[in-house]
């Protein structure tokens, strides 16, 4: 059984290995042990603080195999982006050039550097090891964050975003970067990606153009990948869209990947989740799976399993109870693992 829990200091080695495995484009996990250690410490500090309003806190979670203790994935939440350093996007807009005398009317798509998502909560740092990408483990890893946010809404903003990893080829090259960013930064994509992931974002404001960029002037290869995701990221995008996230015409300034957004209360797993009292017993294993979490903070746990419902009582197996660290009579938060957006 897989369970989601907050990251701890003992997870540094596996987190560093994940950072290496993810490669270029995974900005939120730089290959830097010191920075990763700081992010683990920031998670523990946030979880042990009495926080009553959204701030610059960072939360990292890991997926653990309960039988072996092996960590096979990670996911994260930034409670409010852009409060300690600028948070940049390109906003896609339209500019019209027209002449009544010449009877010419042309509209052009543009990219405009902006900070429009400042203060929003970001779900981020989603990575599942390849041999664990089955049995809806990806859904558990991604959506577990929503039950945590539902339980502690005061810690998060009213709007939630997710930056999707943009397209890069098999050699790790980004057509969008090569067609635009490289012309202003004079460095390779991997270097710029590492710098921003390490928190060094000053160079963006110093070197990026402040005026609108006409998309049709970019190379065809760069235009073609604007708003598209890396092939490995397509399942994550579909998963978020099934929760109600939508593309709002904002893209990453490095690889052109899309940013999805939604109001916190409109996320399906949050809107549809409910409290139940735990009962421990036999459960029909052939039934639909539910996301199930305890109501903890530093001891938050979330898993997926079939359940039996009867009124306000939910019966879970002993293995599920052990994974969640709950006993009979404790409060659970549950929601269907898969379902329509309401």
Give the span between the Cα atoms of 242 and 134, in whole angstroms: 18
User: In the annotation, is 105 catalytic?
Assistant: no
Give the span between the Cα atoms of 3 and 5, in whole angstroms: 7
The string over 161-171, giving b where at least 16 C-beta atoms fall within 10 Å of a residue's C-beta and e elsewhere, is bbbbbbbbeee
Return the number of other C-beta atoms located less than 10 Å from residue 183's C-beta.
11
Half-sphere exposure of residue 122: CA atoms within 13 angstroms, side-chain side = 20
Residues 334 and 306: beta-carbon distance below 8 Å: no
Give the span between the Cα atoms of 340 and 113, in whole angstroms: 35
Helix residue ranges, H only, the chain: 12-22, 33-47, 137-151, 175-176, 182-185, 189-197, 202-207, 220-224, 234-242, 268-271, 318-324
Phi then psi dihedrals of residue 175, to 5 deg: -60, -35
Give the span between the Cα atoms of 94 and 99, in whole angstroms: 17
Residue 90, C-beta contacts closer than 8 angstroms, at least 6 positions apart: 111, 112, 113, 114, 213, 250, 251, 252, 253, 256
Give the span between the Cα atoms of 240 and 230, in whole angstroms: 15
Residues 66 and 322: beta-carbon distance below 8 Å: yes
Catalytic residue among 48, 152, 216, 230: 230
Residue 49, C-beta contacts closer than 8 angstroms, at least 6 positions apart: 57
Residues 255 and 166: beta-carbon distance below 8 Å: yes
Return the number of other C-beta atoms located less than 10 Å from residue 136's C-beta.
15
Q: Which residues are catalytic?
A: 230
């Amino acid at each position: 059984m897989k369970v989601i829990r907050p990251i701890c200091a003992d997870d540094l080695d596996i987190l560093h290995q994940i950072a290496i495995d993810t490669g270029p484009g995974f900005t939120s996990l730089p290959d830097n042990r010191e920075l990763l250690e700081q992010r683990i410490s920031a998670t523990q500090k946030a979880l042990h603080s009495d926080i009553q309003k959204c701030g610059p806190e960072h939360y990292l979670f890991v997926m653990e195999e309960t039988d072996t203790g092996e960590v096979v994935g990670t996911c994260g939440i930034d409670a409010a982006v852009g409060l300690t350093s600028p948070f940049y996007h390109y906003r896609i807009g339209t500019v019209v050039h027209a002449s009544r005398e010449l009877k010419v009317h042309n509209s052009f798509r543009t990219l405009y550097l902006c900070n429009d998502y400042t203060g929003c909560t970001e779900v981020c740092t989603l990575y599942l090891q390849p041999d664990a990408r089955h049995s809806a483990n990806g859904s558990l890893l991604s959506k577990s964050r929503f039950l945590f946010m539902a339980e502690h809404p005061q810690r998060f903003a009213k709007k939630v975003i997710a930056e999707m990893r943009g397209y890069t080829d098999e050699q790790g090259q980004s057509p969008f970067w090569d067609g635009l960013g490289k012309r202003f930064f004079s460095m390779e994509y991997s270097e710029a990606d590492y710098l921003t992931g390490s928190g060094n974002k000053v160079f963006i404001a110093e070197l990026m153009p402040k005026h609108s960029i006409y998309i049709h002037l970019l190379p065809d290869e760069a235009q073609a990948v604007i708003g598209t995701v890396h092939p490995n990221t397509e399942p994550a995008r579909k998963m978020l869209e099934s929760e109600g996230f939508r593309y709002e015409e904002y893209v990453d300034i490095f690889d052109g990947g899309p940013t999805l957004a939604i109001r916190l209360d409109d996320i399906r797993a949050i809107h549809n989740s409910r409290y139940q009292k735990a009962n421990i017993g036999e459960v029909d294993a052939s039934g639909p799976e539910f996301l199930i979490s305890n109501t903890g903070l530093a001891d938050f746990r979330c898993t997926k399993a079939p359940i039996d419902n009867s009124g306000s009582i939910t019966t879970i197996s002993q293995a599920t109870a052990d994974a969640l660290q709950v006993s009979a009579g404790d409060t659970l938060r549950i929601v269907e693992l898969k379902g329509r957006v309401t």
